[in-house]
Amino acid sequence: MEPENRTRVTERLRLEPVGPALVEDLWLLHQDAGIARWYGGTWTREEARERAVNMGRTWESGGVHKWLAYDRESGGLVGRGGLSCKEVDGARRLEVGWAVRERLWGHGYASEIGRASLALAFEDLGADEVVAFTEVDNLRSRAVMERLGFTRPRRIRHRGEPFVLYVLNRPTAR
C-alpha cells in the first residue's frame, strides 16, 4: 500500500499510521486504565517508542499495522486499531484489533475503527479472511467483533492465556 493511502478518514475519525512520529500519543493512549487493563499494564515511554518504531517498520515492509484514531472535529486522541499480521492459533493471519480510551467506551468508536480495518483488508488488500481475538472475559470487545460480523468463536491459547478467536470471511456479492 502506498504511503499516501495509509491515512484513513471515517465518519468521525482520522486514522493515522503509527510510527516514530506518534510515539508520544501512543504512550499517552497506553496510560489509560481501560486500555492498560487489557494490554499488560501501562507502557513506559521506551516501550511505546519501541512499539511505534516496529509498527512504522511494519507499515513500510508489509503495508499494514495499527493506526492512532483521532476525533476529526476536536483532534483529540480516541484510540488505536487496525490490521496486523500475527501468528494466531498456529497460523500467520491477518488480524484486526482496537483499543479505545475508557471514557469513550460505548460510543461506537471500536466498531468504526473495525469497519475501516475490514474495508482495508477486503477491498484494498483482497484478503479472504480476517480474524479477531481477545481474552475470554473481554465481553465488550467480543460484542464489537460480533457487531462487525465475526463468527465461529472458539477458545484458543495466546501467550499461554485463554483467548477467544473469531473469523470473518470475505463478504460475497449477492
Over range 11-15, report the average pLDDT.
Answer: 98
pTM score over 0.85: yes
Answer yes or no: is 161 within a domain.
Answer: yes
* Residue numbers of the domain that contains 88: 3-169
pLDDT digits (tens, 9 = 90+) for 73-124: 999 999 999 999 988 888 899 999 999 999 999 999 999 999 999 999 999 9
119, 49 in Cβ contact below 8 A?
A: no
pLDDT at 107 (0 to 100): 97
By three-state DSSP, how is residue 95 classified? strand
Specify the number of domains making up the chain.
1
Nearest partner of 133 among 87, 76, 74, 66, judged by Cα: 87
* Residues in a beta bridge with 167: 131, 151
* Res 173: pLDDT: 59
Q: How confident is the model at residue 43 (pLDDT cuts 50, 70, 90)?
A: very high
Q: What is the CATH number of the domain that holds 43?
A: 3.40.630.30
